[in-house]
Amino acid sequence: MEWRIVKDYEELSLMAARFVAAQVKNKPNSVLGLATGSTPIGMYRELTRMVERGELSLQQVVTFNLDEYIGLAPDHPQSYHYYMHHHFFSHVDIPAGQIHLPYVEKGAAQEEDCEACEAYDRMIEEHGGIDLQVLGIGRNGHIGFNEPSISLEVGTHIVTLTEETRQANARFFQRIEEVPTHAVTMGVGSIMKAERILLLASGSDKKEVLARLYAEGVRTELPASLLHVHQDVTVIADREAAAWLPVGESLKG
Ligand code: GLP
Cβ-contact 214, 247 below 8 angstroms = yes
What pLDDT score does 238 carry? 97
116-169 pLDDT per residue, tens: 999 999 999 999 999 999 999 999 999 999 999 999 999 999 999 989 889 988
Q: What share of the chain is helix, strand, coil (3-state, %, to 5)?
A: 40, 15, 45
Give this prediction's pTM: 0.95
DSSP 162: P
Query: Can you tell me the distance from the alpha carbon of 180 to that of 209, in angstroms, rounded to the nearest whole number?
Result: 24
237-249 pLDDT per residue, tens: 999 999 999 875 5
Catalytic residue among 46, 121, 131, 147: 147
Burial class (CB in 10 A: 0-12, 13-18, 19+), 72: buried
DSSP H or E run through 201: strand 196-201
What average pLDDT does this structure show over 88-111? 89
- For ligand 1, the distance from its centroid to the CA atom of residue 107, given in whole angstroms, is 25
Band (251; pLDDT cuts 50, 70, 90): low
Cα torsion angle, 26, 40, 142, 113, sign: negative
Q: From the centroid of its chain, how far is CA 87?
A: 14
Residue 5 three-state SS? strand
**Is it the case that residue 205 has pLDDT exceeding 80?**
yes
Q: Active-site residue 164, yes or no?
A: no
154-179 pLDDT per residue, tens: 999 999 998 988 998 898 899 999 99
Query: Can you tell me the distance from the alpha carbon of 201 to that of 199, in angstroms, rounded to the nearest whole number?
Result: 7
DSSP 205: G
CA angle 154, 28, 18 (to 5 degrees): 80
**Is it the case that residue 233 has pLDDT exceeding 70?**
yes
Q: Active-site residue 121, yes or no?
A: no
What pLDDT score does 247 carry? 72
Cβ-contact 221, 212 below 8 angstroms = no
Q: Active-site residue 86, yes or no?
A: no
Band (15; pLDDT cuts 50, 70, 90): very high
What average pLDDT does this structure show over 83-108? 94
What pLDDT score does 113 carry? 73
Which residue CA neighbors atom 1 of ligand 1 most closely? 37
**Is it the case that residue 111 has pLDDT exceeding 70?**
no
At residue 134, φ and ψ (nearest 5 deg) are -95, 135
Looking at the chain, list the stretches that DSSP marks H as alpha helix, in order from N- to C-terminal side.
Answer: 9-26, 41-52, 80-87, 115-126, 163-169, 188-192, 207-215
Of 132, 144, 122, nearest in space to 224 by CA: 144
Q: Active-site residue 169, yes or no?
A: no
Q: Which of 9, 13, 36 most suits a substitution to test ligand 1, by most atoms within 8 Å of the C-beta?
A: 36
Catalytic residue among 46, 67, 131, 238: 67
Ligand 1 atom at shortest distance from the alpha carbon of 66: 9
